[in-house]
Amino acid sequence: NIPDLAKTLGTSYALGAAIDQTALDSKDPHSELLTKHFKSITAGNFMKMDAMQPTEGNFVWSEADKLVNFAAANNMQVRGHTLLWHSQVPDWFFTDPNDPSKPATREQLLKRMKTHIQTIVSRYKGKVHTWDVVNEVISDGGGLRNQASGSKWRDIIGDVDGDGDDSDYIELAFRYAREADPDAVLVINDYGIEGSVSKMNDMVKLVEKLLAKGTPIDAIGFQMHVSMYGPDLKQIREAFNRAAALGVHIQVTELDMSIYSGNSEQEKPVTDEMMLEQAYRYRALFDLFKEFDDRGIMDSVTLWGLADDGTWLDDFPVKGRKDAPLLFDRKLKAKPAYWALVDPSTLP
Ligand code: G3I
């Protein structure tokens, strides 16, 4: 019988976890872990575009409804992930409905985007606290992600109002979401921005420009798939400060901490020393989050998974290499990282 993590941390933001469907089954031990320690839930996969609207006009509500009802029954918030992404989006979005050999036109894609966003956001109005409106729109190579870097959204929709700017699909996605639920917190979410100054430069430029046009962006989501080796705290703080300077809030949306320094490393045994080192780094990160919570601008911190048995990092970036990035181990037992957050005096 260990302390309740979210409660013990005492943050004003709701501590959250990404889950798969098993955690919503009250007979499954993941469910107990979730309700005991967390106050916010994100679907790790099943609220993405392909899951919500696999074919045009056929929305699948069962899983998402289950999550939203589970959250309400357990007094938890929901983070909706995600309304628009270049990955896990069915091909039909980008195909001409009258001639599948042709790409969709701007008008067709905009209409589909609006329908997708507004159908989902209105159904969960008042029930989904925060939406990741757009996910990963910035390219690692600089600028907006485009066809060459894996996204068709920018190339097909492009510059709608003729002002020479090609981020209109992002602006419109936020406007559609706001229209459908004026009270939901709207997030632009991306990875690597806490650790890459040039990617953060692109994020800052983009958000600045969109805000100047009146785009309803409430927060920048920092996914924070970090490792035990970096990025360092100073750099993360600097990135958070740059977001804060824009006048938007901060969310940590997909936190986990790999034990590997990169993809060339072979699988290695998880040692006690390693887990202790991870614990101290988790503690330092949460102390940093507290600085921004104290300033009233940290809206959410979500772990990308409940326990090490369900981490996406077991398959990424090296297929089958086992990782140990979360607060609970493969048997759902609290790790030193958990103890570092509830009571660091228990650590050696
Ligand atoms: O459900 C099928 C299963 O039926 C099939 O047997 C199996 C075979 O590969 O695949 C299963 O689907 C996998 C799915 O996760 C559920 O486990 C997909 O292949 C796999 O691609 C998918 O990966 C997800 C990934 O997004 C896809 O891009 C990860 O679970 C999910 O954690 C990850 O989450 C993303 C965020 O949405 C955005 N930020 C990065 C983050 C990590 O990549």
Find, among 95, 106, 108, 114, the residue nearest to 156 by Cα.
106
pLDDT at position 65:
98
Please list the helix, strand and coil fractions of the chain in percent, rounded to the nearest 5, in that order.
Answer: 40, 20, 40
ipTM of this complex: 0.94
Per-residue model confidence as pLDDT tens digits over 206-221: 999 999 999 999 999 9
Ligand 1 proximity of 223 Cβ (cutoff 6 Å) = yes
Cβ atoms of 133 and 187 within 8 Å: the answer is yes
Contacts 24+ apart (CB under 8 A), 287-292: 288/233, 288/236, 288/237, 288/240, 289/11, 289/252, 290/11, 291/237, 292/240, 292/244, 292/250
- For a mutational test of ligand 1's pocket, the pick from 22, 42, 45, i.e. the residue with the most ligand atoms closer than 8 A to its C-beta, is 45
Cβ atoms of 247 and 236 within 8 Å: the answer is no
Ligand 1 proximity of 254 Cβ (cutoff 6 Å) = yes
**Distance between Cα 45 and ligand 1 center (Å):** 6
Average pLDDT, the chain: 97
Nearest CA to ligand 1 atom 2: 45
pLDDT at position 86:
97
Whole-number Cα distances in Å, 6 to 76, 142, 288: 11, 37, 16
Cβ atoms of 325 and 303 within 8 Å: the answer is no
pLDDT at position 316:
92
pLDDT at position 230:
96
Whole-number Cα distances in Å, 218 to 124, 254, 327: 18, 18, 28
Ligand 1 proximity of 22 Cβ (cutoff 6 Å) = no
pTM above 0.90, yes or no: yes
Consecutive H or E run containing 22: none
Per-residue model confidence as pLDDT tens digits over 163-181: 999 999 999 999 999 999 9
Instruction: Looking at the CA of residue 223, tell me the nearest atom of ligand 1.
Output: 39
Higher pLDDT, 2 or 348: 2
Per-residue model confidence as pLDDT tens digits over 281-298: 999 999 999 999 999 999
pLDDT at position 254:
98
Give the DSSP letter of residue 323: -
**Distance between Cα 82 and ligand 1 center (Å):** 13
**Distance between Cα 105 and ligand 1 center (Å):** 29
pLDDT at position 342:
97
Find, among 84, 45, 66, 64, the residue nearest to 168 by Cα.
84
Q: What percent of the chain has pLDDT over 70?
A: 100
**Distance between Cα 225 and ligand 1 center (Å):** 15
Ligand 1 proximity of 149 Cβ (cutoff 6 Å) = no
CA 199 to chain centre: 17
Distance CA 117, CA 174 (A): 9
Distance CA 166, CA 133 (A): 17
pLDDT at position 75:
98
Give the DSSP letter of residue 266: P
**Distance between Cα 315 and ligand 1 center (Å):** 9
Mean pLDDT of 76-92: 98
Nearest CA to ligand 1 atom 15: 45
**Helix/strand/coil for 220:** strand
Cβ atoms of 84 and 50 within 8 Å: the answer is no
For residue 163, report the phi and psi dihedrals to the nearest 5 degrees.
Answer: -95, 15
Instruction: Looking at the CA of residue 81, tell me the nearest atom of ligand 1.
Output: 37
pLDDT at position 208:
98
Ligand 1 proximity of 105 Cβ (cutoff 6 Å) = no
Per-residue model confidence as pLDDT tens digits over 32-72: 999 999 999 999 999 999 999 999 999 999 999 999 999 99
Tokens read off for 89: 């989006």
Ligand 1 proximity of 45 Cβ (cutoff 6 Å) = yes
Per-residue model confidence as pLDDT tens digits over 87-138: 999 999 999 999 999 999 999 999 999 999 999 999 999 999 999 999 999 9
Ligand 1 proximity of 346 Cβ (cutoff 6 Å) = no
Active site residues: 254
